[in-house]
Amino acid sequence: VVLETGKIDSLQFIFLMVGFIMGSSVVLMPGQAAAHDAWIAILIGLAEAILFVLVYSILGSRFRNKTLIEINEVVYGPLFGKLISLAFLGYILHLGSLVIGDFKDFLSVTVLPQTPYAIIVIFITLVCVYAVKSGIEVIARCGQILTVIIVGIFLIAVIFLVKDINLKNLQPILEVPVKDLLVAAHGTASFPFAETVVFIMLIPFLKNHKNIPITVVKSLLIGGCILVFVAIRNASALGNIAGICNYQNFQADRLIDVGHFLSRMEILTVIAMVTMGFIKITILLYGVVLGSAQLLGLRSYRLLVIPIAILMIILSLINFKSFSENVVFAFQFYPIYAPLFEFGIPLLTLIVAMIRGLPKCWK
């Protein structure tokens, strides 16, 4: 049964991936453990992540019209394939709930302190539900328009912040011990770069199946460069406090004050961040919903959108008891746990497929 008939072009795919990478990383900057050397950690993490994304993009280009769920069934057989797919979908579902949780924490700390958590997460997810129900083409068009607008907002924020930027704040370069830098770099590889593994669920809907790995790496590099740029801006504008700020972008944009009349611009950043979050949550929700429908052999994935969105909402509310638990999980556990699904499952599948010479028609 063909569950999705929509098609997207390479450019839309690139925009979606850039939006996805910026997603929650504009809220919680990756590489924060490396303080003012975060930009170096992001660069190293980007290099590591290229290896990660190459694995799933090569897998996607071998099985051109199949998502990972269908690939697993072909490669491992129906039973074992379903088990591996279930683990992968569990990871995407959990990731979706973590991202919703990040936005819930961010909004309740910064702009909506009196609003109950449940209301924040319900309204964030409601928009995503509508987008996923509308199909992949609508999601792709949203990505195309919103990513351009948001990158524009970030550039405007940089221009307004120029007077506060002091590049000397980046010195001394490589002050962080090498081990800590590499740990931070691995953290940036697992969050956000390798999280793009969910795009393996979108690769079959590309109009042009040529050069899929190049398209994926290109998107990764664009997203990575934007993050490096943002990290340099934050570290040079915030100085010593960059390492201890939970929300660096928000904090940096609070400094904007043009001629004492153009200030309090951080609300623009909040809007931009929530919009990026919409793209990330939508893609994750789409991945889980489509994958679950394929796993269970359903005739439509749209019927699963609301139940799975509610599951994400409930999980996001009970994931952690406090923000500090979230931080400990993100820094100590996530860089170990996430690569199992981001890199481990696609790599294993690719190796088994190569050994078994699958798919038969692949040249």
Partner 1 sequence: MVLLVVIIFGVIAWLEIPGMVQKKYWRELIVYCALLLPEFVLSLLLTMGVNFPAVSTAIFEMVKSIFGVPS
Closest distance to partner 1 from the beta carbon of 307 (Å): 4
Contact 330, 24 (CB under 8 A): no
Hey, what amino acid is at 265? Answer: M
Among positions 51, 314, 351, 352, the unique one binding partner 1 when judged by CB under 8 A:
314
Q: Is 332 in the site for partner 1 (CB under 8 A)?
A: yes
Structure tokens at 19: 């939006």
Q: Residue 258 carries which DSSP code?
A: E
Contact 254, 111 (CB under 8 A): no
Q: Is 168 in the site for partner 1 (CB under 8 A)?
A: no
Cis peptide before 359 (omega within 30 of 0): yes
Q: Is 182 in the site for partner 1 (CB under 8 A)?
A: no
Q: Is 99 in the site for partner 1 (CB under 8 A)?
A: no
Q: Taking the CA atoms of the chain, what radius of gyration do you get in angstroms?
A: 20
**CA distance readout (Å), 9 to 15, 16, 209:** 10, 11, 10
Q: Is 126 in the site for partner 1 (CB under 8 A)?
A: no
Nearer of residues 269 and 326 to partner 1, judged by Cβ: 326
Number of residues that bind partner 1 (CB under 8 A): 30
Closest distance to partner 1 from the beta carbon of 184 (Å): 14
Closest distance to partner 1 from the beta carbon of 353 (Å): 29
Q: Is 323 in the site for partner 1 (CB under 8 A)?
A: no
Q: Contact region for partner 1 (CB under 8 A) — 2-10, 165-173, 303-311, 355-363?
A: 303-311
Nearer of residues 215 and 316 to partner 1, judged by Cβ: 316
Give the contact letters, 65-94, x = binds to partner 1 (CB under 8 A), - = no: -----------------------------x
**CA distance readout (Å), 186 to 9, 34, 36:** 31, 11, 17
Among positions 79, 167, 261, 321, the unique one binding partner 1 when judged by CB under 8 A:
321
**CA distance readout (Å), 42 to 56, 157, 224, 244, 283:** 21, 21, 7, 17, 23
Cis peptide before 172 (omega within 30 of 0): yes
Closest distance to partner 1 from the beta carbon of 169 (Å): 29
Q: Is 100 in the site for partner 1 (CB under 8 A)?
A: no
Q: Residue 263 carries which DSSP code?
A: E
Q: What is the rounded CA–CA span in Å between residue 305 and residue 136? A: 13
Contact 44, 178 (CB under 8 A): no
Task: Summarize the chain as % helix, strand, coil (round to 5).
Answer: 80, 0, 20
Closest distance to partner 1 from the beta carbon of 178 (Å): 15
Interacting residues with partner 1 between 268 and 297 (CB under 8 A): 296-297
Q: Which residues bind partner 1 (CB under 8 A)?
A: 94, 98, 118, 296-300, 303-304, 306-308, 310-311, 314-315, 317-321, 325-326, 328-329, 332-333, 336-337
